[in-house]
Amino acid sequence: MSPVHTLTAQWHGEALTPLNPDTAFNGFIGAHVVHAMERLGLFHALQDDGSVYVSSFCQENKLDEAVVHALVRAAESFGFVSSHGDRVRMTRTGEDVRRMIGFFTWGVGGYHDVFANAASIARGERRFGVDLHRDEGMVALGSAQADTALMRHILDEEISQLDFTTLVDLGAGVSERVSRLVKARPGSRGIGIDISKSATELAAGTVDRYGLGGTVQPVCADVLDILFNGHQVQGAGEADVVMSFMFLHDLLVDPERRDQVIPRLRAAFPEANTFLLGDTTVRPRNGESSLPIFSSGFELAHALMGVPIYTRESYEELFEKGGMRLRRAVPFGAPHTYLFVLEAA
């Protein structure tokens, strides 16, 4: 197994196990309070202004003052804010929560229906993707929030060490990441590939905001069609660097084609000298007495969706069998998430 950089302080987490009933139930309520405060803009206001007068905030934003005061009281009981009359300030713990807000958006906003229907899924009464769905918008937003707070600086450090003329992002969403990286590298160009038509349409606006029309190309395409069905994207074959984030496990869902994905990636991008593949892995069970944020939610959500996820060791075996050499595995912001920096062997 490859060596990795120093693990982050959050890697093993601070939630002591076993969770007692008080902690478990209050955690459930607390997560929903955090998500509500984020969606109402309270965290943003507290971050920008240092403190907020709740009554004025409610009047300015046409909110039910009684409800917002109830949320604030709950947040104060959890230690996220402190209040002095109508004035509210963020605590240091609240600042930590705000930094991790992407996980709450992802879990409470994106997967609330999936988690709530776990028993129905187990009984076969409901099926994910048929009559039960996640909120794709909230999942995308939460991922973007986590990327900005926890991952972006790590990716920037790795990208700064690479030479490239053409950069391809697989599962690019609205092409924010590829546009930002191309903007920072004059003379380069980028291609953002995503299966979502709506995301690709929004990506055109992203490209315009960066002033990169004609330089970054959003493309609506299924990456699996590129790998297995001969679909070609103009210019993609010239890519020097190919990247994907939190997407590799989706490419590996079909067990009959799993071992072919990495060789097909190499073949689809023959000029690529570097592949940057980031994904969350299964948390090792080593008898630890604490839990990190995100890992248990990531593992349970994918089990309920019927999507396999992998250990770091399994990924490294797939890379080696597929003809890629692992330069390094970099801890990538979220617990048990790695940025695998690979080159064609």
User: What's the pLDDT tens digit per position in 114-167?
Assistant: 999 999 999 999 999 999 999 988 888 898 899 999 999 999 999 999 999 999
In this model, does residue 7 exceed pLDDT 80?
no
In this model, does residue 252 exceed pLDDT 70?
yes
> How many other CB atoms are found less than 10 A from the CB of residue 114?
20
Contact, 298 vs 18, CB < 8 A?
A: no
Q: How far is CA 222 from CA 193, 225, 228, 229, in A?
A: 8, 5, 10, 10
Pick the CATH number of 15-99 from 3.40.1160.10, 3.30.300.20, 3.40.50.10860, 1.10.10.10: 1.10.10.10
Average pLDDT over residues 287-314: 93
The pLDDT-based confidence of 11 (bands split at 50, 70, 90) is confident
User: Nearest-CA neighbor of 290 among 28, 14, 9?
Assistant: 14
**For residue 264, what are its two tokens?**
């097909």
pTM of the model: 0.91
Q: Is the peptide bond before 186 cis (omega within 30 degrees of 0)?
A: no
The 10s digit of each residue's pLDDT in 45-89 is: 998 878 999 999 999 999 999 999 999 999 999 999 999 999 999
CATH class of 151-344: alpha beta
User: In this predicted structure, what is the pLDDT of residue 8?
Assistant: 67
User: In this predicted structure, what is the pLDDT of residue 32?
Assistant: 98
| Length of the chain measured in residues | 345
The 10s digit of each residue's pLDDT in 321-336 is: 999 999 999 999 999 9
User: In this predicted structure, what is the pLDDT of residue 4?
Assistant: 55
What whole-number distance in Å separates Cα of residue 64 and Cα of residue 32? 17
Q: Which residue has the higher pLDDT, 206 or 11?
A: 206
User: Nearest-CA neighbor of 100 among 140, 146, 139?
Assistant: 146
Average pLDDT over residues 261-270: 96
What whole-number distance in Å separates Cα of residue 89 and Cα of residue 272? 49
User: In this predicted structure, what is the pLDDT of residue 318?
Assistant: 96
Residue ranges of domains in the chain: 15-99, 151-344
The 10s digit of each residue's pLDDT in 220-245 is: 999 999 999 999 999 999 999 999 99
Running DSSP on this structure, what letter comes out for residue 50?
S
Q: Which residue has the higher pLDDT, 315 or 11?
A: 315
User: In this predicted structure, what is the pLDDT of residue 6?
Assistant: 61
List all residues 6 or more positions away from 22 whose beta carbon is below 8 Å from its beta carbon: none
Contact, 37 vs 43, CB < 8 A?
A: yes
What whole-number distance in Å separates Cα of residue 228 and Cα of residue 244? 17
What whole-number distance in Å separates Cα of residue 41 and Cα of residue 69? 14
pLDDT above 70 as % of the chain: 97
> How many other CB atoms are found less than 10 A from the CB of residue 282?
17
User: In this predicted structure, what is the pLDDT of residue 43?
Assistant: 94
Mean pLDDT across the chain: 94
